[in-house]
Amino acid sequence: MRILLTNDDGILAPGLRSLEKIARQLSKDLWVVAPDYEQSGASHSLTLTQPLRVRKVNSRKYAVRGTPTDCVIMAIDVLLKGQKPDLILSGVNRGGNLGEDVTYSGTIAAAMEGTLLGIPSIALSQNYKHQHPVKWATAEHHGAAIIRKLLKQGWPRDVLINVNFPDVVHGQVSGVEVVRQGKRDLSDLVIDDRVDARGVPYYWIGFRRQLGAPAEDTDLGVIARGGISVTPLQLDLTHRSTLRRLKAALP
């Protein structure tokens, strides 16, 4: 089984080393194509107005000056030419990809791109508390077993899988739960208003924080109770009930 590894935290990220540890338990045929710098919040962005540069780390590991989506496209179309992977693993992201995070996330986006290109793709993220160490060992301990189970079951060609690991030591994980995407309360959006060393103002977008208790049957709910969440995501965003209603009402 040929596996392509990528991420959005960049080629030097500790989470990529965790992903390599997980993937080595599944196969020896591993390729790594990851962004040269951190691309957090890159979403499903494509580099269209800039050239892409590629640096070879070794014969199976490349750093791309681009987004996670660029990395997957470059891997499939150029770097692994004729050696299409059987699986794409994206991560392990430093921080959760829960609720509507999935629309911003470069980690999810790489798995979206793999899915669009017809390759089964899984995104993996390790939740942590701000200014606390990341418990990478939790993802490393449970990752391979979950991926094996998912591959055994399979999933539709136009669907990707989003896996999140909780911020607890690996022995305290409460279980694995398949759940829907949750929703955060976004009222606590943080923008810092600052002044640079020349006295010119600038702004910095900060983290959004979860307020209140998340719904139990969601990714947010599972992570809050120390479980591993598994959520299948689709790329068809059509809202069916509104489609039916507007179809009758509009023209």
Least CB distance from residue 83 to a second copy, whole Å? 16
Q: How far is the CB of 194 from a second copy (least distance, A)?
A: 7
Q: Which of 158, 162, 141 is nearest to 220 (CA)?
A: 162
Rule CB under 8 A: say whether 40 interacts with a second copy: yes
- Contact by Cβ (8 Å): 228, 175: yes
| Shortest spacing between CB 28 and a second copy, in angstroms | 26
DSSP label of 89: E
The tokens 């179309």 sit on which residue? 77
Which member of 21, 29, 54, 173 binds a second copy (CB under 8 A)? 54
Check if the beta carbon of residue 43 is closer than 8 Å to that of residue 106.
yes
> Does residue 124 contact residue 165 with C-beta atoms inside 8 Å?
yes
Smaller CB separation from a second copy, 73 or 92: 73
- Our CB check for a second copy shows the closer of 101 and 140 to be 101
Q: Is the dihedral of CA 144, 146, 152, 154 positive or negative?
A: negative
Site for a second copy in 193-222 (CB under 8 A): 193-194, 196, 200-205
Footprint of a second copy on residues 169-198 (CB under 8 A)? 175-181, 183, 186, 189, 191, 193-194, 196
Q: Is 247 in the site for a second copy (CB under 8 A)?
A: yes
Please tell me the count of residues contacting a second copy according to CB under 8 A: 78
Judged by CB under 8 A, does residue 150 bind a second copy? yes
Tokens (6 digits) for 152: 């055994």
138 CB-near residues (< 8 Å, 6+ apart): 126, 165, 166, 167, 168, 169, 170, 173
Q: Binding to a second copy by residue 88, rule CB under 8 A? A: no
Query: Should residue 158 be labelled a site residue for a second copy when binding is judged by CB under 8 A?
Result: yes
Q: Which of 1, 24, 25, 53 binds a second copy (CB under 8 A)?
A: 53
- Segment interacting with a second copy (CB under 8 A) among 84-92, 127-135, 136-144, 240-248: 240-248
- Among 24, 10, 197, 172, smallest CA distance to 91 is for 10
